[in-house]
Chains A and B, each alone.
Chain A
Amino acid sequence: EPEVTQTPSHQVTQMGQEVILRCVPISNHLYFYWYRQILGQKVEFLVSFYNNEISEKSEIFDDQFSVERPDGSNFTLKIRSTKLEDSAMYFCASSDRGETYEQYFGPGTRLTVT
């Protein structure tokens, strides 16, 4: 069964450093998403991406965040200058164009900013 994959599973970085979180969505999917879950809290929407453009972003997704689909298979989230409060689990998700609107989630990347 096709699945969304994410790398790395755990990333530790120092405050102020740039990080890139990588995701490989399901191959025939057209809609891509990043969500964030701070430890013990709810899952929060960050950004959605369709047709090589951001279709919606939340208030959390400020100028330090960016997304890219560099090669038609990967979907990346870049945090330009990490802060302590960026420590969280980051989930990538994708969905197809059908009526299902079901989003398939990756296993997540745990980002720890020290």
Chain B
Amino acid sequence: AQKVTQAQTEISVVEKEDVTLDCVYETRDTTYYLFWYKQPPSGELVFLIRRNSFDEQNEISGRYSWNFQKSTSSFNFTITASQVVDSAVYFCALSEVMIMVVRPTNKLIFGTGTLLAVQP
């Protein structure tokens, strides 16, 4: 069965600190996608990144970086020099890749989220 675990329920940092959000996943599939979404106080889900299981290269986008380690089934997210606007709930999600099926689904399995509070 697929499962995503975000052990950190809440994290509070002071502006300009670096912060890492942990994500550990379980799947029996060899091909899958991992995602991070941001949910600000306004409630919408904002896509941040997608990574497929064959691409273990770390990625950096501005102040955001992601560390994918297949050996430990982890896909951690680091915000460098955090800002107040980064305050949100961050969700990690997993999707299996359905190949050769009549009705593919590609549903997302979400973790429980990490509430990040960045204090000024």
List residues of chain A with CB under 8 Å of any chain B CB: 31, 33, 35, 41-45, 48, 50-51, 53, 55-56, 89, 91, 93, 95, 100-108, 110
Contacts and interface: CB of A to CB of B under 8 A. Distances in A.
- Do most interface residues of chain A lie in helix, strand or loop, or is the interface mixed? strand
Given A101-B50, A101-B95, A108-B44, A50 B103 contact: yes
Give the size category of B's interface with A. Answer: 20 to 34
A102 B43 CA distance: 19
B120 interface: no
Interface stretch (B19-27, B61-69, B80-88, B107-115): B107-115
A105 to B, nearest CB: 4
Contact of A41 (B35, B45, B106, B112): B112
A29 B91 CA distance: 24
B45 A105 contact: yes
Contacts of A55: 103-105
Contact of B44 (A50, A103, A105): A105
A39 to B, nearest CB: 10
